[in-house]
């Protein structure tokens, strides 16, 4: 395993050599891609491009080997029991839609309750709403404390209503707050609920050991953990995946088709309709192996150092309303500049080559609760440096001076 050296790590990402002016602090939206991931994708297209599973020719067999090896590597990286528990899809949103759709045709029935949290991304709200309303399933929501952490007392109360499913984010995409999943998942299981973890933000910071978490489903997107766009993972325990009705039909997901009946293939193919994202799968496997080649704890410490430096600097800028707490934080700080619109602040930062995001971050219920138009979000990755922190603070100070002059 490589010792973590931030400069050496950063050098693996060609973006920073091509675009040296940018201070990239929009990592919660998407991360840059290291050379090994670019090489793996390019190698597939240059040397083995072919469709998988169906071809009689050797190129197709070679592509199938690369694709299935990617599945096995990803299964190993997240500690799945077997590769068949790893389903390829286009991202966290697609995975959550598949779970919500798939459980409404058997597992969830009218009058059942499910439990989400007030910190969820729309991708972990809307798919449930789409089906719950139609099927008479009730959605309850875990509220927040005044420090914007999940209210554990309220959670205990809501669990007494015996939800059949609890679906939680591992890390808040707005605040960076880390959900205390081990205890919350255990409590959900104690009342017999199926558990879903939205790992879109968590995978890159905390990683996923799905056997240790012992969740029924875990989803994430490749592009937020140094992999390509258009690829994501729906992990499920075999028994949980078997409960899902396929959302999409066609291609490799069938066993037999006639006009009167279709029988489905076995897992994982049953939930992978059409030509799968082959290059994406290969790129994602390479990204996860890249992460795992570094010491996770050293990466977490480096990000915590950046966060501490950033918070220290924020103290010197007057008029800020900081929403994120620096503890149990995966490297995201959301804030506002007095009553200024977050988009105006983000635009002024953009003019100084600081890439952040301003808005509601696909978490409208959270901002509606606070009666805020959104926030400016600074999200850090291990390739960020103390120099990035200093430059972004300087740019923010300047933006505040312009807006409040």
Ligand X SMILES: Cc1ncc(COP(=O)(O)O)c(C=O)c1O
Reading the block at residue 56, the tokens are 């009689």
CA 318/CA 90 separation, integer angstroms: 42
Closer residue to ligand X in complex, CB, 173/384:
173
Closer residue to ligand X in complex, CB, 93/385:
93
CA 315/CA 337 separation, integer angstroms: 13
Interface of this chain with ligand X, residues 13 to 42, rule: CB under 6 A:
none
CA 117/CA 123 separation, integer angstroms: 12
Closer residue to ligand X in complex, CB, 201/384:
201
Decide if residue 93 touches ligand X (CB under 6 A).
yes
For the residues of 150-167, what is the DSSP string, one character each?
B-HHHHHHHHTT--SEEE
Binding region for ligand X (CB under 6 A) out of 45-53, 88-96, 182-190, 370-378: 88-96
CB of 173 to ligand X, least distance (A): 3
User: How many residues form the binding site for ligand X (CB under 6 A)?
Assistant: 13
Q: What's the sign of the alpha-carbon dihedral 204, 82, 179, 150?
A: positive
Q: Which residues contact 239 (CB under 8 A, 6 or more apart)?
A: none
Catalytic residue check, 89: no
How many other C-beta atoms are found inside a 10 Å radius of the C-beta of residue 139? 16
CA 166/CA 181 separation, integer angstroms: 11
Binding region for ligand X (CB under 6 A) out of 33-41, 71-79, 90-98, 379-387: 90-98
- The CB-side HSE value for 112 (13 A sphere, CA atoms) comes to 22
Closer residue to ligand X in complex, CB, 219/335:
219
Decide if residue 121 touches ligand X (CB under 6 A).
yes
Decide if residue 50 touches ligand X (CB under 6 A).
no
Burial category of 138 from C-beta neighbours within 10 Å (exposed 0-12, middle 13-18, buried 19 and up): middle
Closer residue to ligand X in complex, CB, 126/191:
126
Point out which residues pair with 336 in neighbouring strands.
321
Decide if residue 91 touches ligand X (CB under 6 A).
yes
Residue 179 CA: distances (Å) to CA of 20, 78, 98, 185, 355: 35, 18, 23, 10, 26
Contact pick of 201, 334, 384, 392 for ligand X (by CB under 6 A): 201
Distance linking the first and last C-alpha atoms of the chain: 51
CB of 128 to ligand X, least distance (A): 13
CB of 334 to ligand X, least distance (A): 12
Where do runs of H (alpha helix) occur along 315-375?
342-351, 364-370
Interface of this chain with ligand X, residues 52 to 71, rule: CB under 6 A:
none
CB of 119 to ligand X, least distance (A): 9
Residue 342 CA: distances (Å) to CA of 212, 302, 332, 376, 402: 39, 27, 15, 5, 14
CB of 200 to ligand X, least distance (A): 3
Decide if residue 198 touches ligand X (CB under 6 A).
yes
CB of 117 to ligand X, least distance (A): 11
Q: Which residues contact 19 (CB under 8 A, 6 or more apart)?
A: none
Contact pick of 50, 169, 179, 324 for ligand X (by CB under 6 A): 169
Decide if residue 334 touches ligand X (CB under 6 A).
no
CA 165/CA 99 separation, integer angstroms: 11
Decide if residue 221 touches ligand X (CB under 6 A).
yes
SS3 state at 320: strand
CB of 327 to ligand X, least distance (A): 19
Closer residue to ligand X in complex, CB, 173/286:
173
Decide if residue 360 touches ligand X (CB under 6 A).
no
Closer residue to ligand X in complex, CB, 100/393:
100
Which residue matches tokens 């081990």? 182
Interface of this chain with ligand X, residues 260 to 299, rule: CB under 6 A:
none
> What is the contact surface with ligand X in residues (CB under 6 A)?
91-93, 121, 123-124, 169, 173, 198, 200-201, 221, 362
List residues with catalytic annotation: 362
């Amino acid at each position: 395993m490589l010792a973590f050296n931030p400069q050496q790590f950063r050098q693996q990402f060609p973006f920073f050599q091509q675009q040296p002016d940018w201070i990239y602090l929009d990592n919660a939206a998407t991360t840059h891609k290291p050379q090994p991931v670019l090489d793996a994708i390019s190698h597939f297209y240059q040397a083995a491009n072919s469709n998988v599973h169906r071809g009689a020719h050797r190129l197709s067999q070679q592509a199938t080997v690369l694709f299935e090896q990617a599945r096995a590597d990803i299964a190993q990286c997240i500690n799945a029991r077997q590769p068949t528990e790893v389903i390829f899809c286009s991202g966290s949103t697609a995975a959550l839609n598949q779970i919500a759709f798939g459980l409404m045709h058997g597992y969830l029935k009218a009058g059942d309750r499910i439990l989400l949290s007030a910190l969820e991304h729309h991708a972990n709200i809307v798919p449930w709403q789409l089906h719950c309303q139609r099927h008479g399933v009730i959605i309850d929501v875990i509220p927040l404390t005044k420090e914007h952490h999940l209210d554990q007392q309220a959670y205990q109360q809501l669990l007494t209503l015996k939800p059949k499913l609890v679906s939680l984010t591992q890390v808040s995409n707005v605040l960076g707050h880390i959900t205390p999943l081990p205890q919350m998942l255990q409590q959900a299981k104690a009342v017999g609920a199926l558990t879903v973890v939205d790992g879109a933000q968590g995978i890159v910071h905390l990683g996923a050991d799905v056997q240790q978490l012992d969740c029924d489903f875990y989803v994430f997107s490749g592009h937020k953990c140094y992999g390509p766009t258009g690829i994501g993972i729906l992990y499920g325990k075999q028994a949980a995946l078997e409960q899902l009705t396929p959302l999409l039909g066609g291609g490799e997901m069938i066993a037999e088709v006639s006009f009167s009946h279709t029988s489905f293939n076995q897992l994982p193919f049953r939930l992978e309709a059409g030509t799968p994202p082959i290059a994406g799968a290969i790129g994602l496997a390479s990204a996860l192996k890249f992460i795992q080649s570094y010491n996770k704890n050293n990466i977490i410490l480096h990000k915590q150092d950046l966060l501490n430096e950033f918070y220290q600097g924020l103290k010197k800028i007057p008029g800020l309303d900081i929403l994120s707490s620096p503890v149990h934080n995966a490297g995201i700080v959301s804030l506002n500049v007095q009553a200024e619109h977050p988009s105006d602040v983000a635009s002024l930062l953009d003019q100084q080559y600081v890439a952040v995001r301003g808005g509601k971050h696909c978490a409208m219920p959270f901002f509606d609760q606070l009666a805020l138009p959104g926030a400016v979000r600074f999200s850090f990755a291990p390739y960020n440096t103390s120099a990035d922190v200093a430059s972004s603070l300087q740019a923010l100070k300047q933006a505040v001076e312009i807006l409040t002059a």
